[in-house]
Amino acid sequence: MKLLYFAWLRERIGLGEEEVTPPSSVVTVADLIAWLRLRGPGYVEALAETARVRCAVNQDFAKLDTIVRPGDEIAFFPPITGG
């Protein structure tokens, strides 16, 4: 699956996008976040507070219990500050 990071999540993780192949035990967005936190201190710092992290799966806003599948585009970002 393709992961995208925006704003301060991108800065903390140190990249804007990457391809990953999580184990089959990763079923939901929450599972994916828990797995990503094992990838290094930048991920831990970016994803520490799930209350400050928003997510989209295939360009639609998603929740922690949204299912993720191989081939999905999953974006992580802070709460929106547009307009």
Q: Which stretches of the chain bind another protein, using CB under 8 A?
A: 4, 6-8, 56, 59, 73, 75, 77-83
Tokens representing residue 36 in the block: 């990503």
φ, ψ dihedrals at 72, nearest 5°: -70, 155
Distance CA 52, CA 22 (A): 23
Q: For another protein, give the closer residue by CB, 27 or 54.
A: 54
Q: For another protein, give the closer residue by CB, 27 or 56.
A: 56
Q: For another protein, give the closer residue by CB, 70 or 79.
A: 79
Least distance to another protein, CB of residue 61, Å: 8
Distance CA 16, CA 46 (A): 12
CB 55 within 8 A of CB 32: no
